[in-house]
Structure 1
């Protein structure tokens, strides 16, 4: 089922607190697409772990080229059945490290596995990072797709959807209310005598769903600040955009804006005219094919794409050169 987007004479706007959040504003505007990179900033096809060599210099170079965001994944354990440990370092710790080495690039997660996190501590971590980075944190929250993590943590895998909703409620309550009174089935509660410090420095830490997180799209549109879906085939972009923005309009009003994003692997082809070609977890394209796909996504209402070129064969520095010369100028980050 799709929902037609109701057009308005005024530009859709985000939650009032997010209108002044620097990271949210750098990445997300209606009818405009920005580009981010999922870490590591290193290609390593066929190997589970990157070397993380020169990782700070590569992050600084991505920022200088105008990349909108660096996104970190939440993979605590190495499972040979998955064969991937992302950027190795714990994402929130790593964000703190990169925040000190960069100045303007957004630092985000794709995403923190919320059902396995203690939401009270996550709220304190998020508020602290957003303050220390001067508003550059965008927190992506997922339910996790690795079954093996859950038994190791003593958590029922089948409960992850319910735990996600419960944890998210606690997280929001502590960040945005003073001396809150609340009770959670799984994550404790308070009678109103305690308060979390610091609070979100801009009133709200932008929190987007990464994947459906075992929720309905309707629930995500009502409760999250945005939605990062997996990469879609070109013929599916328009229906996805209409569906998401239609649900946001129904939930929040016709002038509300909650961004739609895409994320996945990019195998950058040496043939510049290679069109979009589906691969597992993402797509293959040359620079011209990539630019065409991004233009289609932008027209469909996609505001951001998070690309993970780790599956590409060429050195990462060459990928950055190509993106910087041929792609990023067409999809600049917002001042």
Structure 2
């Protein structure tokens, strides 16, 4: 198993490993949204994050022992969709984060392969992997925003076929796609781990055979018990009986009161840290091996929330942080 995947799923057996979804911002909270609206035309549009503290918070996540940082690939800001993710180009950003962090894994969730020039995608991914000393987790997808495809002069209807072609290129490292004597450098020391968001216009059987892990949409433990069973049904273990990772996300609003019960909303909920531990354990029992926390709805300061989770939640689930080779 690739060292980054092995580190991602390592825990003490009580629950999943815990990461964070970028941006490390709480711009969707009521107070921050009200402040944004009050700024009028001079303010940021809804869905465009404030990245003023991004490097400081990424370093804090690394220091506290969060297992991974996940960055989405959103090439264009579409106001009708209302989410620009972390704004920065995903590989450039992860290359920067590789330089300011030491141990935390760096994942894409997920790169839209059919929109990209394949050779440059390979070179970008390998560059981040080498600069981070093997910490890249390459999440990939076929894309779900039709408006982007004509802008990039790509065909939306054939994105499933393009996805398969590019996955084959990653696996072969462009073998057969280059003239004799021409190489694509840098070449990863190990094959890059490929994780898929959704089905990417493929059959479950194809996904299970060709992908190393699943990036599942947020849901309840009951949702994940059903989905993870479907994933396990179409996948073989990676090695030594270790199942291919099933990964998901939670939109979290961590309450001041540590004993506050879980109040669910779409994709997550508001809860105190004790309820968070219970929810994470329930997700693990449902087959989730890694959970990334999304804090854009969080009402408390992001760094304060990260500190509390680092002090009281991560020790419940994490072994000593593994350093990838």
How many residues are matched? 302
**Partner in structure 1 of residue 7 of structure 2:** 26
Q: Which residue of 1 aligns with 2:218?
A: 231
Q: Once the 2 structures are TM-superposed, how far is the Cα of residue 146 of structure 1 from its aligned partner? A: 1.7
1:277-316 matches, within 5 Å, as: 277-279=264-266, 281-316=267-302
Greater alpha carbon shift after TM alignment, 57-66 vs 268-277? 268-277
TM-score scaled to structure 2, two decimals? 0.86
Alignment partner of 2:70: what SS? strand
Q: How far off is 1:232 after superposition?
A: 2.1
> Do the aligned residues in 2 keep the contact of 1:78 with 1:85 (CA within 8 Å)?
yes
In structure 1, which of residues 25, 44, 47 is the aligned counterpart of residue 27 of structure 2? 44
Q: Does 1:261 align with 2:258?
A: no
> Which residue in the other structure is 2:122 paired with?
123
Question: How far does residue 236 in structure 1 lie from its aligned partner after superposition?
Answer: 2.6
* Contact map agreement 1:35 1:328 (CA 8 A) in 2: yes
For residues 238-260 of structure 1, give each alpha carbon's deviation from its aligned partner in whole angstroms, at most 9, with x where no partner exists.
232322223213x8799353111
Deviations 1:256-315 (A, max 9, x none): 531111124223344543226131x44443322221111012123221112211122221
Contact 1:74 1:110 in 2 (8 A): yes
Q: Could you say what secondary structure the match of 1:80 adopts?
A: coil
Q: Do structure 1's residue 159 and structure 2's residue 163 form an aligned pair?
A: no
> How much does 1:208 deviate?
0.5
1:192 CA displacement: 4.3
Unmatched 5+ stretches in structure 2: 34-45
Q: How far did residue 194 of structure 1 move?
A: 2.5
Question: Pick from 209, 212, 215: which aligns with 1:222?
Answer: 209
Determine the C-alpha separation between the residues in 2 that align with 1:193 and 1:276.
Answer: 60
Structure 2 equivalent of residue 244 of structure 1: 231
Q: 2:188 aligns with which of 181, 200, 210?
A: 200
Query: Displacement, 1:81?
Result: 0.4
Deviation at 1:33, TM superposition (A): 1.3
1:9 is matched with none
Q: Structure 1 173/141 Cα, relative in aligned 2: closer, same or farther at 3 Å?
A: same
Give the equivalent residue in structure 2 for 1:327.
313
Query: TM-score with structure 1 length normalisation?
Result: 0.83
Q: Which runs of 5+ in 1 are unaligned?
A: 1-13, 182-188
> Quick one: distance in 1 between partners of 2:152 and 2:224?
37
